Chains A and B, each alone.
Chain A
Amino acid sequence: MITINSWRHANLLAPLALLCLLASLCFTQQSTDELLKQTISGFESRDEPIDQILGRLSKSYNVPIGLEKIAPKAAASSEERRISVKIEKGTVQDVLDAVIRADPRYQWKEVAGVINVLPRKARNPILEIPVRSFQISNANWMDVRQAIQMTAEIKGGFERMGLKERSAITVVGSGNNNLPKFSLDLRDTTLRGILNEILKVKGYSFWVFSRYGNRNQYVSIQAIV
């Protein structure tokens, strides 16, 4: 153990420690192009919901992906469309293309360094509500989600659209989820922009925006490590 008992030394080391912390929290950024060109072999998915497939792609290849799910037609139904994808040898982009081919209701595009998969039609405007400022410090995803609800522009948007943010907490493990903590200070952004920024924090790789409920009145926003 190193004990530092000199203020002078402490003053010198503090900025260095901060830099190290930041470095550890942030991705070693790869360009989106590089991420998309990552070689993939033997990627196969059979009859899975799109979020399962993209979640696995994101986790396995460290590709930040955000998914705006199409609201189910049948209210309160768990019968989602399931698709199959098989890429014996290809790239991340090939997988994304295959997913879109399998469920053409979606399209994918790169948004600020994050792959966003979103409906071709009827995108949810709540994700695009302008947010003038979003600041949070040393918070994990649970804290951020609460902060998002409290953001005036988003809160107002939910109310106008008759939506309620109600993201299920699946409790497993020790109960201490140890989600990575981070800080954000965003200006002139959107909910999508906030979610995309979170994926640039080390540990988070995938967000999903979905709606459920008998009138699709609930919104679930999950950011997944």
Chain B
Amino acid sequence: MRKILRFSQLLGNIRQSIVVILLFSFIGYTVLPTRSSADTTNNSDQADNAPPQKQNKNARKNDCPSCSPPGDQLIYIPLTDLPEAQGGELVFNSRSPKEMEVTPVFYKLDGTVVKGDPVLIQSAEIRYVDFKKLLPAGHRGERDWGGLALTYHGVAREMWAQYRLLRVNGGGNVDEFFTVKSEQRSDVQEAAWWMPKKSTAIIALGNITDLPTSATLSFGDGDTQTVSLAPNGTGIIRHQHTGQEGVESVKINITGMPGSIITTGVITSKDGSFNSVIRFYDTKGTKQPHLFANGFRLADRKAHMVLKNTSDSPITAQPKFIASGGVASGLPVSLPDVNLGPGETTEVDLTLLSEAVRRRGDLDMVSVQVHNSGGPGTLIGSLYSTNNLTGINYDTPLRDSGPVRTMTGSYPWKVTKDFTTIVYITNITDEEAEFLGEINYSGGHFLLDARKLAPGETAVLDLREIREKQEENKEGQKMSKDFSQGQLKWAVRGDTKGKIVLIGRAEMVSRSQNISTSYSCNDPCPPSYSGDLNPFPPPVVFVNNTATVAAWETAYYNNGYNYYTMGPYAVGASWTLDNAVGTLDPDGGHTTTLTGTSVGGATLDGFIATQSDYRWDGRDCYYSGTYDERVDAPVAVGPHINSISPSRGPVGGTVHILIFGYGFDPNSTPTVSISGYGVSVSDAFVLTDGSITATLFITPDASAGNHLVTVTSHGIDSNSVNFFVQVPTSLETTIEGSPQTYNGGPVPGTNIQVCYGYVKILTYTVLDQSTNPIRATGTAMENVQVLRTNIGSQNLQVTAPVDSNGQFSDYVGLCFPSPPPPQPGEFTVARQTINILIGNLTYTVRTNCLNQQYNNTTITNVTSNPALCQ
């Protein structure tokens, strides 16, 4: 059957003027989103644990000399509506570090342009939008929709999206994948798929340009159709499959401008029991001949593998199925060679595989490799499966390993209600490969630590399980349980030697919503990695002391004008010192402890990894060798003070101190310094490598409290220890004797020659601001203010010497030089203020209330409230 379809040519000037959004002359931009303000929050969380403090000199953040500046971007799908579908849903997937304004542009089947209202998408936001709600209000009842473009100002792939047609023929959804308009495409698109009986293959061809174009469709059953497309128009071809289940294929030759037509396809059975996508491949753009898939589930599934030889020569395909643990974990299941004649499409017999699945428990989920004897692009294929229990259909992309960006991913995830999202990342090589990533959700991130995958191994990241398990990552984070949707990013790490080593995808399923979607969204290029030391080693590590440092790594997605960062990640490093001033233990690991052994300087180096260097030309990503990711920092090992003795001294005093520690050089003159006002050092002398003598001079007005003593040897400072400058602050009544009565005669120890009365002796100890004794001589001065008396007592001012223990005696009593002695009723009440004199400074340390009666004096400490003494 030959059919020629012509779509409306009624393209007016108005439409043409609207299509100015298609100014996409730029071919390449780096779309490497940078971290948003939300990311900053995440980094702050990290900061508690380990904030990087120093940028490694090897940081490669600015390596993008060829990056294009931001410009107008457009991504496109050819089909948004089908009579068989009950609606459509778009998911925005931002990789931008900032809020993006995205304008949807809707195309009717005939190419008529309807511009939608701009939508603001936040950084790293995943947003699901009903297609109808996205349409301008006046157009929501219309059903002749064709393609959809999303336009924004930025760099290529900074904004991404995926579309799904919902409940096709009452069954499951069918995915549709956006295309970057500015990326290069050839004039050929091919697809091969499996079809159940009584089903239809719906092929949609969208003209992504504003010029007319055309194509010829050649189906595997011999049917050929020619399609002419108006600018921005979409053509839909329905290819019925009325017989038994089987394979089908199509080759689309674009007869208009190469790359002008974007294709997609839908397989739908009449009763909706099997719906899936037809994936088209640009066989001329394929880099290598083999096909790969991962996350292909076999337990309780009915699976179909379809292969097609797109060439004119016979080829042989060798399907191999590898357990998630990799080739070393269990023997891969290799099926017999599949010989394909020129243009032949066949369904691979999976009987042997099914038997192996029943026998072994490790083949419930496998990765797939199909080796091809032909050249790149000569083999295409598809994988489908249906869950025997739920009836859900699964599309597993089977394709070329793809460009470098295949080794990255930015997938939506959702675990609301019965939604599950499982991310599969597979090492498709025979050498170890590594990746790291992060799970983003509104306002937060959970870092996925670097993980090595053995050859053939698949990392299975079940988002619901990760959220529920609440396992801590190496950075001490737990994934928030408050969020149930977001974005998962991952990227290859380490040296790939220029190969494509990892593939990945996410599979989102909801039985209640009849949704089964595979996401393979990539970032444009793997990130570069930069190491940091944190905590940064202190400027000086002291002899016999230690400093612990840790290596951290940040992934920088660089688009030349901003960055999206992931991390910092706790990573391992090989640690070395270039000068034997200390030891490192361990010499490999996330952290190491440096122990200073001798005074001197060195550089601490931590080699983290050899990383692949990728360059971005604005459109494609290229491997360009390797670089060593390492961290380093200068380290000085300095002398260490353990202690000083004495460690305190009074204002106005001279104190000879001994400094004990390590790393003092007896052959050099040490510099001993002390901080703060009023204390100076002289006569420093090294006795041994562990002791120094010095003299401290403390002025009467020296700053009270701690002063830091430091020793400098060979220009490197030691740690500092405190020397406490004591200020007379209070008195302790050490002894209060009983009154001794005198009936004439002298009072011993005084110059009172005749006393009729009594005297008692108190001993006070001068205390500092920390209530420690000030063991130094001085002078106590007392002011006695008579408040009340009936014996003519008057105010006095006297002094008493303070001995080297900080103590002085205070005689308190009442005498008369002649009889009679004090008589009952005779009294004096006086306020006694005791000051300590140092230099010309006076420190009031005590106020007593003296109640002098005829036979005793009661002493009450009223320092806190002298007014109590009246």
- Seen from chain A, the residues whose Cβ lies within 8 Å of a Cβ on chain B are 51-52, 55, 69, 76-78, 142, 145-146, 149, 164-178, 206, 208, 210-212, 218, 220, 222, 224-225
* B41 CB–A CB distance under 8 Å: no
* B716 CB–A CB distance under 8 Å: no
Contact with A along B788-830 (1 / 0, CB 8 A): 1111111111111100000011111111111000100111101
B809 touches A142 (CB 8 A): no
Looking at A52, A149, A175, A211, the one whose CB has the most chain B CB atoms below 10 A away is A175
Bound form: Cα–Cα A122–B801 in Å: 45
What residue of chain B has the Cβ atom nearest to residue A209's Cβ? B792
Mark out the residues of chain B between 732 and 766 whose CB falls within 8 Å of any chain A CB in the assembled complex: 747, 749-753, 755, 757, 759
Set A142, A174, A224: member contacting B796, Cβ < 8 A: A224
Chain A residues within 8 Å of B507, by CB: none
Bound form: Cα–Cα A218–B797 in Å: 24
What residue of chain A has the Cβ atom nearest to residue B822's Cβ? A168
* B151 CB–A CB distance under 8 Å: no
Set B786, B816, B825: member contacting A167, Cβ < 8 A: B816
Bound form: Cα–Cα A220–B794 in Å: 10
Set A78, A170, A177: member contacting B830, Cβ < 8 A: A170
Q: How would you classify the secondary structure of chain B's contact residues: helix, strand, loop or mixed?
A: strand
Whether A76 touches B784, Cβ cut-off 8 Å, given contacts A55-B795, A170-B814, A171-B811, is no
Q: Closest CB of chain B to A65's CB: distance in Å?
A: 12
Whether A168 touches B816, Cβ cut-off 8 Å, given contacts A175-B749, A224-B794, is yes
Bound form: Cα–Cα A208–B780 in Å: 26
B792 touches A169 (CB 8 A): no
Bound form: Cα–Cα A224–B793 in Å: 11
Chain B residues within 8 Å of A168, by CB: 789, 791-793, 814-816, 822, 826, 828
A167 touches B817 (CB 8 A): yes
Bound form: Cα–Cα A2–B827 in Å: 51
The 4 A-B pairs with the shortest beta carbon distances in the complex, nearest first, are A220-B792, A175-B750, A173-B798, A174-B800
B800 touches A171 (CB 8 A): no
Chain A residues within 8 Å of B800, by CB: 173-174
Whether A208 touches B794, Cβ cut-off 8 Å, given contacts A167-B817, A173-B799, is yes
B811 touches A172 (CB 8 A): yes
B757 touches A178 (CB 8 A): no
Bound form: Cα–Cα A149–B754 in Å: 14
What residue of chain B has the Cβ atom nearest to residue A211's Cβ? B792
Chain B residues within 8 Å of A52, by CB: 785-786, 795
Mark out the residues of chain B between 62 and 120 whose CB falls within 8 Å of any chain A CB in the assembled complex: none
* B782 CB–A CB distance under 8 Å: yes
Bound form: Cα–Cα A173–B813 in Å: 10
B811 touches A212 (CB 8 A): no
What residue of chain B has the Cβ atom nearest to residue A75's Cβ? B790
Mark out the residues of chain B between 605 and 625 whose CB falls within 8 Å of any chain A CB in the assembled complex: none
* B852 CB–A CB distance under 8 Å: yes
Chain B residues within 8 Å of A171, by CB: 747, 750, 752, 755, 757, 759, 811-815
Bound form: Cα–Cα A55–B785 in Å: 10
Q: Closest CB of chain B to A160's CB: distance in Å?
A: 18
A178 touches B792 (CB 8 A): no
What residue of chain B has the Cβ atom nearest to residue A165's Cβ? B818
* B832 CB–A CB distance under 8 Å: yes
Chain A residues within 8 Å of B789, by CB: 78, 168
Bound form: Cα–Cα A166–B818 in Å: 7
B830 touches A210 (CB 8 A): no
Q: Closest CB of chain B to A84's CB: distance in Å?
A: 15
Q: Closest CB of chain B to A74's CB: distance in Å?
A: 10
Bound form: Cα–Cα A175–B798 in Å: 9
Chain A residues within 8 Å of B811, by CB: 171-175
Whether A222 touches B825, Cβ cut-off 8 Å, given contacts A167-B817, A169-B817, A175-B749, is no
B782 touches A166 (CB 8 A): no
Question: Given A168-B826, A172-B811, A173-B799, 12 more contacts at CB 8 Å?
Answer: A145-B817, A166-B791, A167-B817, A169-B752, A169-B814, A169-B817, A171-B747, A172-B850, A175-B759, A212-B792, A222-B792, A225-B797
Contact sample, A vs B, 17 pairs, CB 8 Å cutoff: A76-B790, A142-B751, A146-B817, A165-B818, A169-B814, A169-B815, A170-B793, A170-B830, A172-B782, A172-B784, A172-B810, A174-B798, A174-B808, A174-B810, A174-B811, A175-B809, A210-B792
